[in-house]
Amino acid sequence: MIEVDTLIDHIRTYNPKTNEELVRKAYDYGLRMHDGQTRHSGEPYFTHPIEVAVILAGQKLDDSTIITALLHDTIEDTDATYAEVADIFGEEIAQLIDGVTKLTNLELSSVQSKQAENFRKLLLAMSQDLRVLLVKLGDRLHNMRTIKHMRDDKQISKSRETMDIFAPLAGRMGMQWMRDELEDLSFKVLNPEGRNSIIRRFITLRDQSEDLIPSIIKDVRALLNTHEIEASITGREKKPYSIWRKMEEKQQSFSRLSDIYAFRIITQHEDDVYRALGAVHQRWTAVPGRFKDYISSPKSNGYRSIHTTVAGRDGKLVEIQIRTREMHEVAEVGVAAHWAYKDGRRAENRFSVDPLSWLNSLADRIGDEDDHDEFLEHVKLEMFADQVFCFTPKGDVVQLPRGATPIDFAFAIHTRIGSATVGAKVDGHRVPLWTRLRNGQSVDIQTAVGQRPQATWIDIVKTGRAKSAIRRALREDHQAGYIKLGRELARVALEHVGKKATDKALNTAAKKLGLKDHNEVLSQLGSAELTGVDLVGALYPSLLHDKSGEVNQPEAKIVGLEADQVVQAAPCCQPLPGERIVGIATRGKGVFVHSIHCDTLIEYEDQAERWIDLNWTKGRSKTVNKVTIEVTMAHYSGVLGRICTLISEQDGNIVDMHFSDRKQDFYRIAIDIEVRDVEHLSNIVTAVEADSDVAQVLQSRRHQMTLKT
């Protein structure tokens, strides 16, 4: 464990005026609060907050951020309270810790609707104080560095969340080094063989080219000395994930990739940047289309640099970045440069970006869409976008993702202008609306009163903002007509299988299809986004499929056990074939198989050595599994008969039933049925739930069954 004096010495290297007493007090308080707690690795838990503090100290951040890192888990995981922390360390630090706690509690990798809502909460938390996100990123980075001590399923879910959310966020903030490391650590978990193959290729390449990086650095240094340009030069191999992504994007093998090396020239003055660029281009051949000037057109997070790719020694293509020392400081920490310290004072860097304006820009670009899918699409498009910079006729700069069109440009200015677009001029020439814009072009949008977005625009535009606005306008224009047509299509589709298109049935279908309500089902039917077959399949899938086709399907079995391990289903949850499952090793009783959602698993949270990663093989179960469903239904004549018929139509066998609650208007009945697997059970529950006289269907599985291994 890093000692407090070591941490303070580290902070002093950039902030000699650090409040040593307060940092020491936070260290001691955190150590005391986390006393007795351990990590999955067995280390004392407090080693984690210290490592997070060290990561942030490496970014030269202020005392409040470092202290927040030391205490970021105290309110959530110990007896510490907000009031106590505020009393000891002040309201600012208490608010930061509370913000980190709220971020931690957002399950960002959950289902899409919840994920979209949590993205909004994430943006809200960031808008209060961006340092909350800086601490959270440091927290995630250290957790990813030590992820090998977690269960395999946790490693995968955390790595996906990191790859999808936290790495892009770090990149958008300008902390490219952190994005690179987060992506590579996630890549190591999600595709270890792919990463290892890249590393093996690198080793082979090193053996073949020996000291290529030092040689190129020597060549560049000699070139700059000739032109009397003072600069530092560094070189590196790109991260394995960066190489893998390029291979995927360009559909090229490793041997055909060119720019797997990156070099950086750091000058003292801005004039020297362009002099160095000229010297490099005179000495080596520049690759067309690979030049970017982020100095004249900076990124929104303050990033400034010249990027160029040249054919260097032995014809190998290398990427070279050229910037000043001041630009480099911002490039290393991005928006976080606002809080960076130097010689005991807040660093004065003219290139650092005001975090509030950056957040407002990000929030404005993402918008406030009601549709969850559109919101997530918008967020991810904005986070991963490589940018181009275009100009309005008045000379204002508009930032867009690469591949954007004049329609994207129009919507970036204002939704009203985008909606009314009828044409565009680029650099004074009339161009089609599907034209892909390039850096530095001037765009003049032509509008007309009464013009509305066209459906064909969806496939033309690139930005999430434009896509969302177009879809919203199209929905408004066609919603009523789609619903009317959809109701007729639903009636015909369900009558074809002897069912009625009631609002209750359509709402059940909406739940099954992940849609909002019955109106959205009807709208998608009317707009051909959904078919009548989809509707029937959601409610009564067995009526669409030929059961004879199941005979030759393989049998579902459990895999992941040793040959001599005895296995039995846990009576607390009784998992069905097709469910996500996990095994818990029990001395003398073999392995109990649980559903991954079983509440009992909480008891084994700290006993990772007993967990066994299990899976069902694909196929149909050839054993019957007895389950119970509890149905709350209206007390009308014929309702129970219809329910029994629905279960029979879905090929379910009723074994027993008994009434558990009798009211004047509703009955609750427990029905024991035999099912093959979780899909079979889901089909039965959906069919019963769609009946207009059924209020609720709950699943209760408490019967023993024999599992095959």
Show the tokens assigned to 708. 């095959």
In a domain, 221, yes or no: yes
pLDDT (tens digit per residue) in 348-371 = 667 776 666 666 655 555 444 444
Q: Are residues 55 and 142 in the same domain?
A: yes
Percentage of the chain lying above the pLDDT 90 cut = 25
Question: What pLDDT shows up at residue 528?
Answer: 67
For the cut 60, the answer to whether the pLDDT of residue 383 exceeds it is no
Lowest-confidence pick of 57-71, 124-138, 171-185, 491-505: 124-138
In a domain, 376, yes or no: no
For the cut 80, the answer to whether the pLDDT of residue 453 exceeds it is yes
Percentage of the chain lying above the pLDDT 70 cut = 83
Distance CA(454)–CA(457), nearest Å, equals: 6
Report phi then psi at 23, rounded to 5: -65, -45
Nearest to 705 by CA among 671, 673, 680: 673
Q: Are residues 198 and 101 in the same domain?
A: no
Which of 76, 117, 377, 693 is catalytic? The answer is 76
Mean pLDDT of 453-458: 87
What b/e string do you get for 360-388 counting C-beta neighbours within 10 Å, with b at 16 or more? eebeebbbebebbebbbbbbebbbebebb
Q: Are residues 496 and 558 in the same domain?
A: no
Nearest to 113 by CA among 382, 364, 370, 365: 370
In a domain, 357, yes or no: no
pLDDT (tens digit per residue) in 292-310 = 888 988 887 788 999 998 8
pLDDT (tens digit per residue) in 25-56 = 999 999 999 999 999 888 999 999 999 999 99
- Could you tell me the pLDDT band of residue 633, with boundaries at 50, 70 and 90? confident
In a domain, 187, yes or no: no
Q: Are residues 155 and 291 in the same domain?
A: no
Q: Are residues 133 and 219 in the same domain?
A: no
Structural domain including 238 reads 194-346
Lowest-confidence pick of 89-98, 172-181, 359-368: 359-368
Most confident of 127-136, 278-287, 456-465, 495-504: 278-287
Does 76 qualify as catalytic in the annotation? Answer: yes
Question: What pLDDT shows up at residue 626?
Answer: 79
Write down the mean pLDDT value for the chain: 81
For the cut 90, the answer to whether the pLDDT of residue 274 exceeds it is yes
Question: What pLDDT shows up at residue 301?
Answer: 75
Q: Are residues 518 and 578 in the same domain?
A: no
In the listed set 516, 539, 562, which residue is the last one of a domain according to the structure?
A: 539
Q: Are residues 478 and 514 in the same domain?
A: yes
Higher pLDDT, 256 or 224: 224
Q: The tokens 């001037």 sit on which residue? A: 442
- CATH number of 436's domain: 3.10.20.30
Question: What pLDDT shows up at residue 342?
Answer: 63
Distance CA(617)–CA(595), nearest Å, equals: 15
pLDDT (tens digit per residue) in 326-340 = 899 888 877 777 676
Mean pLDDT of 107-113: 47
Show the tokens assigned to 428. 């004074």
Does 87 qualify as catalytic in the annotation? Answer: no
Q: Are residues 503 and 629 in the same domain?
A: no
For the cut 80, the answer to whether the pLDDT of residue 702 exceeds it is no
Residue ranges of E strands in 336-420: 341-342, 345-346, 387-391, 397-401
Instruction: Give this prediction's pTM.
Output: 0.54
Q: Are residues 534 and 567 in the same domain?
A: no
Which of 28, 62, 77, 248 is catalytic? The answer is 77
Question: What pLDDT shows up at residue 22?
Answer: 95
Show the tokens assigned to 456. 């064909």
Kindly give the pairing relationship between strand 443-447 and strand 306-311.
unpaired
* DSSP 8-state symbol, 110: S
In a domain, 514, yes or no: yes
Q: How far apart, in Å, are the Cα atoms of 398 and each of 382, 421, 655?
A: 14, 17, 67
Question: What pLDDT shows up at residue 253?
Answer: 58
Direct distance between the N- and C-terminal alpha carbons of the chain, in angstroms, rounded to an integer: 45
- Could you tell me the pLDDT band of residue 647, with boundaries at 50, 70 and 90? confident
Question: What pLDDT shows up at residue 267?
Answer: 95
In a domain, 521, yes or no: yes
pLDDT (tens digit per residue) in 127-153 = 567 788 889 999 999 999 999 999 998
Question: What pLDDT shows up at residue 141?
Answer: 95
Distance CA(168)–CA(162), nearest Å, equals: 8
Q: Are residues 9 and 101 in the same domain?
A: yes
Q: The tokens 């790495």 sit on which residue? A: 167
Nearest to 275 by CA among 225, 236, 330: 225
Q: How far apart, in Å, are the Cα atoms of 165 and each of 157, 377, 524, 580, 612?
A: 12, 12, 30, 24, 28
Show the tokens assigned to 26. 């936070």
Contacts of 103 (CB under 8 A, 6+ apart): 122, 125, 132, 133, 136
In a domain, 360, yes or no: no
- Could you tell me the pLDDT band of residue 245, with boundaries at 50, 70 and 90? confident
In the listed set 120, 140, 172, which residue is the last one of a domain according to the structure?
A: 172
In a domain, 637, yes or no: yes
Total domain count, the chain: 5
- Could you tell me the pLDDT band of residue 372, with boundaries at 50, 70 and 90? very low
In the listed set 462, 490, 521, which residue is the last one of a domain according to the structure?
A: 462
Show the tokens assigned to 151. 């269960």
Q: Are residues 478 and 449 in the same domain?
A: no
Q: Are residues 160 and 209 in the same domain?
A: no
